[in-house]
A = this chain, B = another copy of it.
Amino acid sequence: MEDMTDKPNLLGWTCPRPLQHYPTIVMGHGAGGKMMADLIEHLFAPAFDNEWLSQMGDSTALELPAGKTAFTTDSFVVSPLFFPGGNIGELAVYGTVNDLAMRGAKPLYLSAGFILEEGLPMETLGNIVTAMAAACKKAGVKIATGDTKVVQKGHGDGIYINTSGLGVIPAGVDIGPANARPGDVVLVSGTMGDHGIAIMSVREGLTFETEIQSDTAPLNGLVEAMLANAMDGHRSPSHKSKKQGGHAPFGDLSAGPPLPTIHCLRDATRGGLAAVLNELAGSSKVGIEFDERKVPIRPEVNAACEMLGLDPLYIANEGKLVAILPEEMAGNVLAAMRRHEYGKEAAIIGGVVSEHPGLVTAKTSIGGMRVVDVPAGELLPRIC
């Protein structure tokens, strides 16, 4: 296993006595018998403790609030399991939380499906589960249902995690990849490429003066702040005062015509900023133009990219989003982003045009113009 086995201890999981019989995962932990029950009772249940998981049925019964439901799934196969700034457990929670948030949904419940490789140290699993529990708390979600399978040594890579997520989309919010319109503004929430380069620097054994950390983070709070400020410019104070308690900042938007709101949100994961902009240009049948010099990139990420022959626009992020929205609300939204913990370095990088639909172009640092194409295949395998 390539996981940095010196790191998991930092998370401080202490193996409870009934699990001390098993220094590593064995096949029986996935066989539906007493060993699996031990794992659930002494590891998963205490970490993810909540009323939904404790129903312990084949499925969990939930009461979802009114509104459209957002549903998503993601499997996590990142290698190494622990990396500067994060680990597979946090990634599995935040990745799915972010996929829900990119619809404007409030994330509520996750599932957790574990595929464990025989021989995985119990301590590694304990620390990953501890990290997931902390991440759930930070993002305000609950793990409502789970599953564990074990595969023989040599048929996995320590641990793979699938999380699926459920969230509720407030009335009036309609965010989707086909909604970009010419005249819209394109924003990013911060520096690009941190996560992919953090993973690569571990794999390649690169060291820099400043360690490059993954940006893994839950973006639902940032999106909530953006939506609140996207709407503010379009509602009279008297109308705002009609908000229902408990549903702020979204209020009751069911009456009247749809309000202008954020058009597209996308977290810039696999394929990075370039992949996201191409997807949005393609889905919305518009052109996108941006200025490379306006894209925030850490100097050490730039340096690493030069050394590795990589383009930072194609490198994955795990705590950054791309937003496309009407120009008139851009100032408000940008200010709200910069006030938020995960948007301090937010920037307007370009705009949407009716020319060259489906195509993304960039003004280069030397003042020229280039087409920013979709990445073909593999850039950095298994970064999430």
Interface residues of A (CB under 8 A from B): 26-37, 55-64, 68-77, 98-100, 102-103, 105, 109, 111-115, 144-147, 149-152, 154-157, 160, 162, 164-167, 169, 176-177, 266-267, 269-271, 275, 283, 316, 374-382
User: For residue A382, which residues in chain B have a CB less than 8 angstroms away from its CB?
Assistant: 30, 149, 151-152
- Given the known interface contacts A74-B147, A176-B57, the answer about A33 and B376 at a Cβ–Cβ threshold of 8 Å is yes
Nearest CB of B to A175, in Å: 8
Please determine whether A69 and B64 come into contact, CB atoms closer than 8 angstroms. Answer: yes
Partner of A275, one of B29, B32, B111: B32
27 residue pairs bridging A and B, Cβ less than 8 Å apart = A26-B377, A30-B270, A30-B381, A31-B378, A31-B381, A33-B275, A33-B374, A33-B378, A34-B377, A56-B177, A56-B283, A58-B99, A59-B72, A59-B99, A59-B100, A60-B72, A61-B68, A61-B169, A72-B111, A73-B164, A74-B113, A74-B147, A75-B162, A145-B164, A149-B160, A155-B156, A162-B164
Please determine whether B267 and A58 come into contact, CB atoms closer than 8 angstroms. Answer: yes
Nearest CB of B to A140, in Å: 17
User: For residue A155, which residues in chain B have a CB less than 8 angstroms away from its CB?
Assistant: 155-157
- The CA-CA distance from A381 to B28 in the complex, in Å, is 8
User: For residue A152, which residues in chain B have a CB less than 8 angstroms away from its CB?
Assistant: 381-382
- Given the known interface contacts A77-B151, A269-B32, A270-B32, the answer about A59 and B165 at a Cβ–Cβ threshold of 8 Å is yes
- The CA-CA distance from A275 to B111 in the complex, in Å, is 23
Please determine whether A147 and B109 come into contact, CB atoms closer than 8 angstroms. Answer: no
Please determine whether B33 and A266 come into contact, CB atoms closer than 8 angstroms. Answer: no
Please determine whether B271 and A33 come into contact, CB atoms closer than 8 angstroms. Answer: yes
User: For residue A28, which residues in chain B have a CB less than 8 angstroms away from its CB?
Assistant: 376-378
Nearest CB of B to A304, in Å: 19
- Given the known interface contacts A375-B34, A376-B28, the answer about A58 and B266 at a Cβ–Cβ threshold of 8 Å is yes
Closest to A104 in B: B61
Please determine whether B57 and A103 come into contact, CB atoms closer than 8 angstroms. Answer: yes
User: For residue A69, which residues in chain B have a CB less than 8 angstroms away from its CB?
Assistant: 61-64, 69, 166
Given known contacts A33-B275, A58-B72, A61-B169, what 13 new A-B pairs fall within 8 Å (CB)? A30-B270, A31-B377, A31-B379, A34-B374, A58-B99, A60-B70, A62-B71, A71-B145, A73-B147, A75-B147, A145-B164, A160-B160, A166-B166
Nearest CB of B to A102, in Å: 4
Please determine whether B35 and A102 come into contact, CB atoms closer than 8 angstroms. Answer: no
Please determine whether A61 and B56 come into contact, CB atoms closer than 8 angstroms. Answer: no
User: For residue A74, which residues in chain B have a CB less than 8 angstroms away from its CB?
Assistant: 113, 147
User: For residue A266, which residues in chain B have a CB less than 8 angstroms away from its CB?
Assistant: 58
Nearest CB of B to A61, in Å: 5
